[in-house]
Amino acid sequence: LGLKAYKQNGFISVDDDSESVSKTLEYAYDDWCIAQMAEILNKKEDYDYFMKRSQNWKNLFNYKTGFIQPKKNGGWQKPFDPKEVTNNYTEANAWQYTFFVPQDIPGMIKAFGGKEKFEAKLDEMFNSESKTTGREQADVTGLIGQYAHGNEPSHHMAYLYNYIGKPKKTAEKVKFILDNFYKNSPDGLIGNEDCGQMSAWYVLSSIGLYKVTPGSNTWETAKPYFKKIKIKINGKKAENISQVIATLNNSTKKSEVKNDYPLIITVPIIEAENKSFQDKMKVEITSQNTDDEIYYLELLKNHDYSTEKLRYIKYTEPLYVEESATISTYVKRNEKNSNIISAQFFKKPNNYSISIKSKVNSQYAAGGSEALIDGIYGDENWKKGEWQGYQSQDFEAIIDLKETKKINQISADFLQDSRSWILMPTKIDYFVSHNNKDYFLMKTITTDIDPRNNNVITKKYTAETLPTEARYVKIKAYNFGKLPEWHQGFGGDAFIFIDEIEVK
């Protein structure tokens, strides 16, 4: 689940695993929890190690946009829409995960630029249009702007105003949620109960208490829903806590935050137009702190990366890659280094161009049409974004080889994940042409994967023939159509997922 990449790079990227942002944030909070146990056990070395790792959320925080965003191949994934529900977040979007740093709220406020800017960002979230983009997600319910009470990552957000001395805003938001999202009816919960979390939020918030950072010994307060509250613990006499909560709620002072652990140096950002290129490509490396020094592994022309020749040199200007290469880099600040991260760039194996007649689903564009002929192959984890998805339509594309060539083989890779509505095409037609007008059917392949098979399957469908001269190749894959009665999505429209098209 991306843990290896998290340990090595300080974050999980889109290339490593799906839901990369959510997993990075969850692991960072988990590390903080481990650090608290280490402190109790008086294991200082372990405490420092996990407290440092608990700051890994900073590696995905984009100071320019003010969002925690996905990274791909060393840089920010583009395009980025904070309202878009994607596979980079767990049942949510950037708005609903950006504030999920319960273990380091003072650090999060600082990252936003201070209390005023943090307040403005919270206000923007609650006041934005209550509409998401991207895929439909049943868990994104109970919207106040982009706040989603129907899913757990949002549940602490109303209480964050307390941390900037604005308890009235916390009280206002909490009361609105209590009044509007909990009804005395069979469908009284605004979202999935999820092991009692929705009800627990109501019980605690109606009392006027909430644990923003589970694992800490502090509670946040809001105005209680009741005039008198008694709590009975372990059979003891019920205690009236109304006055205690009222007193705490009137205080804007926050407890001092410990600063007895090492801070991380955030990793550099590798920026390039694409992952693949035709002749050469410019690659830039930046840091979110302009005073940082950046070092990268020297690019050797003979590709001799034996141990004796490894050398990190200071980055001073953009790099230009002319062959497939891996760029490794780190940031140096005050004699301390960040994690080393890497990005891979591939020189395309040909100069072909492609024209796609079908409309790709924006969630599954894989970086554009050229992704189908760039020599980079998607694996079974399609949520990482290397496959193109086409829903409720056939797939059709024409490849221009730029000159007439002898063709004896055409192939295309397809993926099936039936439970996710992704099914193999029913058949595939391969055509060739001299002039892009008159096409000769080279071969038709009827696919052979059972649509009821719930495993994730990838398969290359290859058409072979005697050498045939042509400049243009056309491929048409026929969509499965409506999902049948036996499928849990009965009546829905199936997807075709396709990756690399090869001509030999």
The domain segmentation of the chain, as residue ranges, is 1-80, 101-258, 269-347, 353-503
Protein fold of 1-80: Glycosyl hydrolase family fold (1.20.1610)
Render each residue's pLDDT in the chain as its tens digit; 504 residues. 899 999 999 999 999 999 999 999 999 999 999 999 999 999 999 999 999 999 999 999 999 999 999 999 999 999 999 999 999 999 999 999 999 999 999 999 999 999 999 999 999 999 999 999 988 777 789 999 999 999 899 999 999 999 999 999 999 999 999 999 999 988 889 988 888 999 999 999 999 999 999 999 889 988 888 888 888 888 777 777 776 676 666 555 454 456 667 789 999 999 999 999 999 999 999 999 989 999 999 876 655 555 556 789 999 999 999 999 999 999 999 999 999 999 999 999 899 999 999 999 988 998 888 999 998 999 999 988 899 999 999 999 999 999 999 999 999 999 999 999 999 999 999 999 999 999 999 999 999 999 999 999 999 999 998 899 999 999 999 999 999 999 999 999 999 999 999 999
Q: What dotted CATH number matches 353-503?
A: 2.60.120.260
Protein fold of 101-258: GH92 mannosidase fold (3.30.2080)
Cα–Cα distances (Å) from 174 to 142, 171, 177, 180, in that order, read 13, 5, 5, 10
* Ramachandran assignment for 367, one of left (phi > 0), alpha (psi -120 to 50 degrees), beta (any other): left
| Three-state secondary-structure class, residue 256 | coil
Name the DSSP letter for residue 197.
H
CA–CA separation, 10 and 342 (whole Å): 12
Protein fold of 269-347: Immunoglobulin-like (2.60.40)
- Which are the contacts of 195, defined by CB distance < 8 A and separation ≥ 6? none
Length reported for the chain: 504
CA–CA separation, 341 and 309 (whole Å): 19
Name the DSSP letter for residue 350.
S
What stretch of H or E contains 206? helix 197-207
Report the b/e string of 248-281 with b at 16+ CB within 10 A.
bbeeeeeeeeeeebeebbbbbbbbbebbbbeeeb
pTM: 0.89
